[in-house]
Amino acid sequence: MDLARYAVRYRRWVRFSSPLPLCYTGNMSFVEDDPRTGRWAAGLARWSGRLRSAHLDGMVGALLEAAEPLSILGAQCLWIAQPALGLFMPRDNVASLARLLDEPGGMAWLREQLVKPDDEAQE
């Protein structure tokens, strides 16, 4: 391929790709299934009950609170491991968990859902 053809292709690529948002995959750019919308409500309530019955809710709450600054790193690890984790669980669940951890208040919301106060758990 001669240099002139390459330059034309490069200019065409730059022209069409520059207005697009910087994103690695389509899963990272669209927030369609936010866990906060209730999709995960039944599962988190079930996990919360199991933690409370095993008297592990305090320890899990403390661990999630301590790990909150590392949630962005955990989200990136989930994005990297998503193809392998897709063998064991749906990729949509991995993607929505990674999006949740990427958000600023995501880990705090997850901790609130898993470790609810006793008065909310009784209802």
The full set of domain ranges for the chain reads 38-122
CA-based radius of gyration for the chain: 20
* Tokens found for residue 41: 């409500």
pLDDT of residue 73 exceeding 90, the answer is yes
What pTM was computed for the model? 0.63
For the chain, give the mean pLDDT. 76
